[in-house]
Amino acid sequence: MAELEKLLFAEATPASRHLFLLFLLCAALYFPYLGNLPFFDKGEPREALAVQDIVQRGEWLFPLKRATAIPSKPPLFHWSAALSEKITGNLNEATIRFPSAFYATLGVLLVYLLGRRLFGGPVAALSGAILATTLIYQNQALSARVDMTLGFFVSASLLLFYALYRDLLRHPLWYFALYGLVGLGTLAKGPLGLLLPALVMAVFLLLKRRWDLIAKFAFHPGVVLTLILVVGWYGLAITRGGEGFVNRQLLAENLNRFFGGSGHSHGVGYYLPYLLSLGLPWSLFLPFLLWDCFRRSSVPNDDRLFLKVWLAVMFIFFSLSAGKRPVYLLPLYPALALLTGLWIDDHNEAAGARRWLFRGLAMFAGLVGAILLAIVAGALWNHEPSWFFSPIAKLLKPKDRANLALIQNALNSLGAAFTVVLSVTMALWFCLGRNLWFGRLRMAAWIIVLNALPFMFISRGVLLPVIAADKSYREFMHEVNGRVGANDKLIIYGEFNSDPVLFYRGSFIDVDERPIAEVASKIVAGKGFVIMTEPSWKELQKLNTNLPAPLVHSTGKGPEGDAPLVLLQAAIL
């Protein structure tokens, strides 16, 4: 531990060493799991179809979903994923998720670089590690969604803005780089990429009463670069997509989402619990941090003020928006990570009443360690790593008991490896409790960072694949592709989320959404093939006794868990 403290906490530690360690941390947390899960939710297959359109049709400017549907987001993420495919030659879950992991890693390194110039190497290294191991950041780094792309470009533009404000970067080209980042951020998820950094910059400069800088940034020639990127792509997209594009991307996804909710309407206080849950494990310190940050005036300290403005402006903006989703908070976490790293450094030697609060957390950590010790001992005694689930299973409903059995089987398949990982986790929890008990917050924080590694192995490597297999259509479509040739007629019947079916098929499939009563008499045995949900097939069978039996049943039940699929050898007239 002494060597670790010397490596991480010495001011003289070279930046290259810290950067290398942070890169290794991100590499271990993100990249091994990029292809570990099939697509099983609604969002990832939707974005994957746009990437597939670029790869198959070469439509880089205006990629479409299903070759016809107007995309809901600008294409920067899709361009990045398609470029990943061009480099690797593969279009799969890993290459489509790769941009999110790549941008997440760059974001961590950028936080470190600015943090080192402002607060020193130890605080910067800890802040980068905090960001890398924050729950929402980890999840989005492994998601084929546009949110990490937006989060990176918003964060990069704000970090660069503050470096320019502090004269840490003086070459005139850095200003053009700033406006280029803002423009690219807009191509990640629309006007938010421009609005979020502009709001934070404006509020900060207003608080500092820097009217000269407001004019300088507002009327800098670099604004033209932003306009070229934004107006250029949106102008071309409007000429291609027309009124449908305007209604979809500009109105429904932005104005309607902010003022009307667009299907995600929630109250002003919606994000308060999510700020805690999405920020785990670091949100354990959040109440103390917020109390200390906002009870004192920080205007004389520009560095801390900027981070607080970043955090507060984004949180208030998203809270005022009618449309809310938890992932929208992602762009504020780089600022929160730096504030958390600073707060831990300020309170490394806890004293007084605060020390007893930390000792309460220490007792909780010790309790978790004791529970893990009992589980490890039981696994060694019973030679069954998942033995501790058996008492729980008796309390569950049959369906939940069956799902739990899948998880037990997955854990048991790991054998001794799971016991070893659990033993390491147990030791880390005991070490965490010890350091919290004595008020050594910095070392406790680094133990939390280390604990993220076995957590990701268990969650992403073992548990989530079981959940994904129960919902994904990937294995079903592999079997369909083996039976249905490229030239065979294949139709999707009914209304269900068929995006993953289309992606794993690799080509467009006609969809028939006519009512069951109308279609029942028109399905006949033939040379074609039909994919439909199992409930639809059962309902059709009641109306048409000649309906052919399914060739293939899916084990995956779809994103909502209620739509297992079947493949029929039939034609719809």
Residues 210-226 pLDDT 10s? 999 999 999 999 999 99
Mean pLDDT calculated for residue range 107-116 = 96
Give 527's DSSP letter: E
Q: What is the pLDDT of residues 500-532, one digit of tens each?
A: 999 999 888 888 888 888 888 888 887 889 999
Length of the chain: 573
Listed range (120-134, 229-243, 317-331) with the worst mean pLDDT:
229-243
State the pLDDT at residue 45.
92
What stretches of 449-522 adopt beta strand conformation (E)? 490-493, 510-512
Burial track 12-40 (b if 16+ CB lie within 10 A, e otherwise): ebeeeebbebbbebbeebbbebbebbbbb
CB contact at 8 A, 469 and 150: no
Listed range (47-56, 70-79, 127-136, 159-168) with the worst mean pLDDT:
70-79
Tell me the C-alpha distance between 276 and 272, whole Å.
7
Can you name the residues that pair with 529 across neighbouring β-strands?
490
Half-sphere exposure of 261 (CA within 13 A, CB side): 8
Q: What is the pLDDT of residues 453-474, one digit of tens each?
A: 999 988 888 888 888 888 899 9
Burial track 530-562 (b if 16+ CB lie within 10 A, e otherwise): bbbbbebbebbeeebeebbebebebebbbbeee
Q: Is the pLDDT of residue 166 over 90?
A: yes
Q: What is the pLDDT of residues 262-287, one digit of tens each?
A: 566 778 888 999 999 999 999 888 88
Q: Which of 531, 134, 72 is nearest to 333 (CA)?
A: 134
The distance from CA 122 to its chain's CA centroid, rounded to whole angstroms, is 27
Q: Is the pLDDT of residue 62 over 80?
A: no
Tell me the C-alpha distance between 190 and 250, whole Å.
8
Structure tokens belonging to residue 25: 């941390």
Which range scores top for mean pLDDT: 60-74, 104-118, 515-529? Answer: 104-118
Mean pLDDT calculated for residue range 435-452 = 90
Can you name the residues that pair with 562 across neighbouring β-strands?
none
State the pLDDT at residue 206.
95
Give 550's DSSP letter: P
Q: Is the pLDDT of residue 297 over 80?
A: no
Structure tokens belonging to residue 285: 């310190």
Q: Which residues contact 96 (CB under 8 A, 6 or more apart)?
A: 44, 47, 48, 51, 81, 84, 85, 144
Tell me the C-alpha distance between 496 and 566, whole Å.
13
What band does 299 get if pLDDT is binned at 50, 70 and 90? very low
Mean pLDDT calculated for residue range 27-38 = 94
DSSP reduced 3-state for 493: strand
Listed range (155-159, 212-216, 245-249, 448-452) with the worst mean pLDDT:
245-249
Q: Is the pLDDT of residue 65 over 50?
A: yes
Mean pLDDT calculated for residue range 73-96 = 92
What band does 389 get if pLDDT is binned at 50, 70 and 90? low
| Contacts of the segment 235-242: beta carbons below 8 A, 24+ positions apart | 236/61, 236/62, 237/61, 237/62, 237/74, 240/61, 240/62, 241/62, 241/70
Do the strands 490-493 and 523-533 form a parallel or antiparallel pair, or are they unpaired? parallel
Tell me the C-alpha distance between 261 and 258, whole Å.
6
pTM of structure: 0.91
- Is the bond into 281 cis (omega within 30 degrees of 0)? yes
What stretches of 143-224 adopt beta strand conformation (E)? none
Amino acid making up residue 409: N
State the pLDDT at residue 508.
83
- Please provide residue 34's backbone torsions phi and psi, each rounded to the nearest 5 degrees: -60, -40
Tell me the C-alpha distance between 38 and 522, whole Å.
34
Mean pLDDT calculated for residue range 474-492 = 92
State the pLDDT at residue 391.
65
What band does 340 get if pLDDT is binned at 50, 70 and 90? very high
CB contact at 8 A, 65 and 71: yes
State the pLDDT at residue 392.
67
